[in-house]
Structures are given as structure tokens and as C-alpha cells.
Amino acid sequence: MKISVLRERRAGETRVAATPETVKKLVASGHSVTIESGAGTVAGFPDDSFSDAGATLAPDAAAAAKGADIVFKVRAPEAGEMDALPEGVALIALMDPTNLDAAPLNAKKVASLSMEFTPRITRAQSMDALSSQSNLSGYRSVIEGAQIYGRAMPMMMTAAGTIAPAKVFIMGVGVAGLQAIATARRLGAVVTATDVRPAAKEQVASLGAKFIAVEDEEFKAAETAGGYAKQMSPEYQAKQAELTASHITKQDIVITTALIPGRAAPVLVTEEMVKTMKPGSVIVDMAVSQGGNCPLSKPDEIVDVNGVKVAGFSNLPARLPADASSLFAKNLLAFLPLVTAEDGSLNLDTDDEIVTAMLLTRNGETVNERIQS
């Protein structure tokens, strides 16, 4: 089949949905690959690296997508990008499905598949783009927090005196949170972490951090079958907030990662809590794109609250474009065989549970019940 890779046009998006490594493997599998010129430049993949790998270069999105069976993108196309998509083409990207306006896709009968809806099952682990990108986000959140903090992270004993290690508090111990813990520990910080899922306690301890949570009966049942955190009761949230408030005043860097798919991010750090923190402290709100875990955070801004810096980064993987692109491209490469027929053509007529979970729109209709209104 013909696979087209388009340049990302969304502000701040530096990633690309293919790399020379994955292009080489796609071509070796019998597919043809067309890359829009400049698609990988910001991520460190110049046009000639793609052509050397066997791809054809096209001058613009329309030329790249012409005749395509499937289009790879990092993010869902915005209004101005829809014109480039051929009618009936298959599109796979991070579609932001819970906020998706499916009408433009259905108008062109686009068969869209969302990488966010990859099921959390063993067979799909190599395709799990949320995990691959969250891993990098967790790492980068600590690097950004350390840079804003502006002081040393590890303890340093010098002839001029001792520098105390930074205290880092990770709120939310999913994929991003675990990587944030590991990174902060590697940098020498004293790390504590919290989560509403009981399984997180052991994971936190295994990384050398201390677990902080209200461990009552509700806490013991606070995880969905898919491994996500459940929405907690107001009573539990109040108890956890009280514990958090007393702990957060002593912290130098707080990183919040809590997200619930399809819902606004829960508030974990209130304005009152921020005001109890020491001047020079930092909050990195990784959930800012869904409303934020701190109501003071603003997307892609650093807000100063009495000397406390509240940083909201809406696209942390884009701050590591080469690695983020590499992992995302490999996620796509792992998924492609599920929609490839024996003769190498595109085949969406399958009852494979991974494909059906990811398919959003097809033949002019919204087919995924999770986004049907």
C-alpha cells in the first residue's frame, strides 16, 4: 500500500510520524512511502535521510497524500489540513478522540484510527503510543522542573558547606509519574510520590521513593480493570488534600501527572497550597492541556505566584522530538500489520479487538461507541 507521512502544522508540534529507520522497514515490507518535504526537519531527520531510506519526497501535503491508502500523522488534522486528505483514506494519529469533531472526517469518509485508544493488553504493548510518549513526558518534566528550580538537585558536600538535596513530590504514578520518579532519583533528589491506586505503592518503593497516601478502604479499590485510576469520592479527595497540603509545603519541586481519560484533570494542588510553598519552589503541571491539576497553571506558560513558579507544559514529548518521533513511529510500525492484508493492501474489515477499539470513523459514520454522542 501507499503510506503518506505529513508534516505537522500544529503550533509547537515538533514530532514526525516516521523516521528513516521505520521507512526502511516499511519499504522492505513492500509498501511505498511518501514523505512531505520538511516533515522531519525539526526532529533532526532531514529530507535526504528519508530519501536515502527509500521514501519519495513530495513538496506539500496534498502531493504527499495523493493516492495514499493510509496517512500517518502525529496529531489529528486541523481544519486547514483536511483539504489535503483524499476521500476515503485511512488516517492514524493521536486523534484526541474525546475532544474530536468527527464531522470533517466523516464528510470525506476518512477511516480514522486513534492511537490513544490502543487497548492496554499484552499484545498491544508495542503499539501503545500513550505509554511511549508519557514515558518521555515524565522524564522531561523533571528536567524542566530542575531547570526552573535553578538549584542543585543532589546533596553536595563541599569545603564551603553542604548543599541539601532537592525534595521532589510526584503526584500521580502512572507511566509518566514512574519515569519522573526514576529521573528525579537519578539526579539525586529526595523523592516522594502519591497515587490513588494501591498497586502504585509497591512501584514507588521499588524506585527508591517514599509513598504518600490516605490508605483507607476506598483507596484499596481505586483502580479500573484497564489499570487507570478511578474517580475518587469527595470525602476521599478531602482527606487526601489535607495530607497533600501538609506535605507540599516542604517540597522544592512538585510534578502533577493525574489524568482520567475523557474527563477534566482533577485538581490536586489548590491555590492555597501553592501559597504555602517556599519562594523558589516549582510546580510542573503535566495535565494542563486538560484543565490542569493546579488551577493556577496556564498552557505553555510559567506563572509566578509569590515566588513559586507554576509551569504548564502542554506537549512535553515535543521537547524531545527525535526520541518521541522514533518511539511513535515504531508504535505505528507495530500496528500496521493488523490492517495489512496478505497481498499487502489495506484491510480494515477485521474483527481484531485492537483495530476495532481504535477505529473512530469509517465510510462517513462515527463507528466508535466511546465517542458517539
> Which residues sit opposite 304 in a β-bridge?
309
Distance separating alpha carbons of residues 322 and 353, to the nearest angstrom: 31
Residue 76 one-letter amino acid: A
Query: What is the pTM (predicted TM-score) of this model?
Result: 0.92
**The pLDDT of residue 37:** 98
Could you say which of 49, 125, 237, 289 is catalytic? 125
Alpha helix (H) residue ranges in the chain: 20-28, 47-52, 61-65, 103-107, 129-149, 175-186, 199-206, 217-220, 234-248, 271-276, 321-335, 353-358
Distance separating alpha carbons of residues 358 and 119, to the nearest angstrom: 8
Distance separating alpha carbons of residues 241 and 364, to the nearest angstrom: 46
Triad 181, 184, 186: Cα angle to 5°: 105
DSSP for 79-122? Answer: GGGGGGSPTT-EEEEE--GGG---HHHHHTT-EEEEGGG---SG
Q: 335 by DSSP, 3-state: which?
A: helix
Q: Is 125 a catalytic residue?
A: yes
Q: 222 by DSSP, 3-state: which?
A: coil
Distance separating alpha carbons of residues 94 and 157, to the nearest angstrom: 46
Q: Is 49 a catalytic residue?
A: no
**The pLDDT of residue 373:** 65
Give the strand pairing for 56-58 and 70-75.
Answer: unpaired
**The pLDDT of residue 227:** 54
Q: Is 372 a catalytic residue?
A: no
Nearest Cα residue to 256 out of 297, 224, 226: 297
Q: Is 228 a catalytic residue?
A: yes
**The pLDDT of residue 230:** 64
Could you say which of 47, 49, 60, 120 is catalytic? 120
Q: Is 237 a catalytic residue?
A: no
**The pLDDT of residue 226:** 55
**The pLDDT of residue 36:** 98
**The pLDDT of residue 89:** 98
Cβ contact 353:335 at 8 Å: no
What is the mean pLDDT for each group of 10 consecutive residues in the chain (373 residues)?
97 97 98 98 98 98 97 94 96 95 96 97 96 98 97 96 97 96 98 89 95 79 59 80 91 93 86 96 96 96 98 97 98 98 95 97 95 78
